[in-house]
């Protein structure tokens, strides 16, 4: 007992002496923000910390809005957001902000129908109306017409939406507003919007909450990030794109959609309604947000982090349910990273 105690004290003493030295060489970077890319970011940061001696990167998935707040309040070294940043928010950051798209993902419509019919097809004039509460039953003629090979039940459609404000909602409503004037007029775009009042529109917290509710509710449909649907093996609908083709998520449709994206100088681009014939319709970039000016040592590591994400990082994107960047996009982002000083 006594010996243990001495050993413990000795260790503590040794640690106490060592820490200041270790600190001098150690660089700890703290980030916070979006939960949508959290799985891939945590894999990146873990691997990057391991490969770069003396550097640790910590990331907290608090949500896009919280990440932007943290960046404005200067409590983090970098942040992440699915909704990029508004000009008003950018103006609040004295040292300037560098927004870099780092990965991209797809939002899918997961559904739960008795008998698990696969490959439900949803035309582009139909799914906005489902989320507007205008189409209320699964055997509605407009749904059955697109799916002659499926036997759709006479069951009410329960729409599951996010209860918290979220970048996923922002991207999804932006897409719906782009393809449906009625949706744009009635609901609009935002991280937290006014959905129609209905008994059949329920809300659940976070991506996992929506996934669980859809899985547990016969007749439910909800929008979630593709990775969550992949993980839980939820049935997801084929969506009709602008060219009129029905495309499944998770294939090459995401990369096709991104290939058509033109990144402007500020690198904030929305792929609201991709035109490529093979494109999956609901895709989005997600951004890392950096300060324009900071401690040079930190800036160098942050640039390395971006470079890692654009090279090694893109290799694992596909397996984790994200879309690897086409080479031209990766090159544009890499060139923009020099603005982190």
Partner 1 sequence: MAVQFSLPDSKSVSQPPSTLAYIVDRTFFFAAAAGALAIIVLVVYILWEIGGQALPAIGRHGASFLVNTRWDVQNASFGILPQIWGTLYSSLLALLIGGFIGVTIAIFLTQDFLPPAIATAFRTLIEMLAAIPSVVFGLWGIFVVIPFIRPAANWLHETVGFIPLFGTSLSGPGMLPAVIVLAIMILPTVAAISQDAIGLVPYKIKEAAYGMGTTRWEAILKVILPTASGGISSALVLGFGRALGETMALAMLIGNANQISLSLFSPANTLASLLASNFPEAGQVERQALMYAALVLLAITLVVNVIGTLILVWTSRKMAKA
Binding site for partner 1 (CB under 8 A): 62-66, 156, 158, 160, 163-166, 188, 190-194, 197-205, 209, 212-213, 216-217, 219-220
The residue (of 163 and 294) whose beta carbon lies closer to partner 1 is: 163
Taking the complex as a whole, the smallest distance from the CB of residue 214 to partner 1 amounts, in Å, to 9
Taking the complex as a whole, the smallest distance from the CB of residue 166 to partner 1 amounts, in Å, to 7
User: How many whole angstroms separate alpha carbon 173 and alpha carbon 164?
Assistant: 14
Which residue's entry shows tokens 């984790």? 320
Taking the complex as a whole, the smallest distance from the CB of residue 295 to partner 1 amounts, in Å, to 29
Strands (E), 192-313: 201-204, 220-225, 235-236, 238-240, 246-247, 283-291
Taking the complex as a whole, the smallest distance from the CB of residue 288 to partner 1 amounts, in Å, to 18
Taking the complex as a whole, the smallest distance from the CB of residue 209 to partner 1 amounts, in Å, to 6
* CB-based burial label for 158 (10 Å; 0-12, 13-18, 19+): buried
99 closest CA partner among 64, 75, 73, 57: 64
The residue (of 56 and 163) whose beta carbon lies closer to partner 1 is: 163
The residue (of 63 and 254) whose beta carbon lies closer to partner 1 is: 63
Between strands 97-112 and 78-81, the pairing is unpaired
φ/ψ of 89, rounded to 5, equals -70, -40
Q: What is the DSSP letter of 52?
A: S
Q: Report yes or no: 292 and 97 within 8 Å, Cβ to Cβ.
A: yes
Instruction: Tell me which H or E stretch contains 57.
Output: strand 55-61
Taking the complex as a whole, the smallest distance from the CB of residue 115 to partner 1 amounts, in Å, to 17
The residue (of 176 and 204) whose beta carbon lies closer to partner 1 is: 204
Which residue's entry shows tokens 């918290």? 164
Residues shown for the chain: 341
The residue (of 123 and 209) whose beta carbon lies closer to partner 1 is: 209
Instruction: Tell me which H or E stretch contains 317.
Output: helix 312-317
Taking the complex as a whole, the smallest distance from the CB of residue 158 to partner 1 amounts, in Å, to 4
The residue (of 62 and 298) whose beta carbon lies closer to partner 1 is: 62
138 closest CA partner among 117, 154, 123, 121: 154
The residue (of 117 and 190) whose beta carbon lies closer to partner 1 is: 190
């Amino acid at each position: 007992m006594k010996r243990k105690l001495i050993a413990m004290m000795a260790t503590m003493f040794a640690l106490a002496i060592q820490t200041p030295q270790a600190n001098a060489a150690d660089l700890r970077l703290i980030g916070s923000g979006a939960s949508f890319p959290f799985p891939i970011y945590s894999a990146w940061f873990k691997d990057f910390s391991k490969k770069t001696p003396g550097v640790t990167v910590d990331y907290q998935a608090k949500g896009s809005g919280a990440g932007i707040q943290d960046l404005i309040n200067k409590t983090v070294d970098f942040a992440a957001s699915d909704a990029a940043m508004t000009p008003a928010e950018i103006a609040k950051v004295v040292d300037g902000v560098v927004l870099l798209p780092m990965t991209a993902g797809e939002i899918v419509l997961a559904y739960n129908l008795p008998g698990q019919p696969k490959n439900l097809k949803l035309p582009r004039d139909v799914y906005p109306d489902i989320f507007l509460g205008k189409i209320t039953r699964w055997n509605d003629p407009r749904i059955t017409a697109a799916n002659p090979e499926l036997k759709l039940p006479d069951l009410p459609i329960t729409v599951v939406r996010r209860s918290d404000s979220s970048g996923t909602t922002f991207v999804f409503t932006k897409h719906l507003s782009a393809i449906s004037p009625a949706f744009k007029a009635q609901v609009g775009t935002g991280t937290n919007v006014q959905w129609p009042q209905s008994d059949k529109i329920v809300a659940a917290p976070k991506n996992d909450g929506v996934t669980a509710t859809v899985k547990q509710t016969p007749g439910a449909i909800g929008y979630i990030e593709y990775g969550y649907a992949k993980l839980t093996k939820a049935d997801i609908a084929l969506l009709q794109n602008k060219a009129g083709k029905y495309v499944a998520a998770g294939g090459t449709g995401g990369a096709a959609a991104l290939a058509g994206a033109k990144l402007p100088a500020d690198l904030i681009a929305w792929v609201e309604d991709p035109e490529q014939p093979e494109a999956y319709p609901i895709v989005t970039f997600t951004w890392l947000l950096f300060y324009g000016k900071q401690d040079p040592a930190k800036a160098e590591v942050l640039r390395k982090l971006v470079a890692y994400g654009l090279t090694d990082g893109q290799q694992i994107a596909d397996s984790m349910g994200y879309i690897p960047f086409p080479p031209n996009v990766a090159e544009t982002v890499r060139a923009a990273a020099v603005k982190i000083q």
